[in-house]
Amino acid sequence: MKKERRKKTMVILVFLVAIAIIQTLPVFFLKPMGFKTMSDENIEMFYAPEVQKGAEEVFELLQLKSNEIKEKMNVEFDEPTKVYIYKTQRQLAIREAGFITLTFAPSWYIGDSHNGNIMMVSPYTKVKGHTHESILNATLHELVHAINYQINPKMSYFWDNGLATYLSNQKPNESDLTSHSIPTFKQLKTDNGLEFGNMGGYAYSYSYIEYLDEIYGWDKVHAYASGNKTYEDVFGKSELDVYNDWCHFLKED
């Protein structure tokens, strides 16, 4: 009986491991079979043949803007940034965390950046809440994420997205701010993407970086983003004091 029980347990364990491996496989295969390639010194793009028109537009935009953004962040790469363009949200989502991602990926999900790689849907993919132009512009957002990962992989989620929205010029509308309360100091520490989106994080993180740039100057924004200095070192105030100043600025504006 013990041998049979042990054998059943082993079969179950092997089955569960196999399921885990299968569900996770897409994460390790960002470039499916049949994908085409276009590249220059800054960008190496892989794309599904049926989205070539959209991929060419993304590539052209990245060629136009990548040097400008890299100069702003004072960074040079030895290798080009890898970009993957998918036809559907489903194909993109499973590269996030495997097939399980399909159960919780938000309907507006259009792209991501992991370990310096950019993954996007084509700007011609129909996505709730997005247009052709907003998807194109989001590619620049993800490029900033890829750059941020290179200069400071420990950058906070709020700072990472603030820089990405600010440098890709994704300026929020007034309603994007007024429809949400100002995030609490504790909320600025979240690394949960859904919580961040639900609290108006994209709009408020843009506002935060814009405020720091206007009050302290870009050199100090970049100095802190690089990860080697504290708020006191760069801004002469604690992080909480800077947060309180920003809140006061928003209420007075």
The residue with greater pLDDT, 106 or 145, is 145
Q: What is the pLDDT of residues 115-173, one digit of tens each?
A: 888 999 999 999 988 999 999 989 999 999 999 998 999 999 999 999 999 999 999 98
Architecture per CATH, domain 1-151, reads as 3-Layer(aba) Sandwich (3.40)
**158-184 b/e (C-beta count within 10 Å ≥ 16 → b):** bbbbbbbbbbbebebeeebbeeeebbe
Q: What is the pLDDT of residues 222-236, one digit of tens each?
A: 999 998 899 999 999
pLDDT at position 187 is: 96
Listed by start position, the domains of the chain span: 1-151, 153-253
Closest CA to 55 of 127, 146, 136, 144: 136
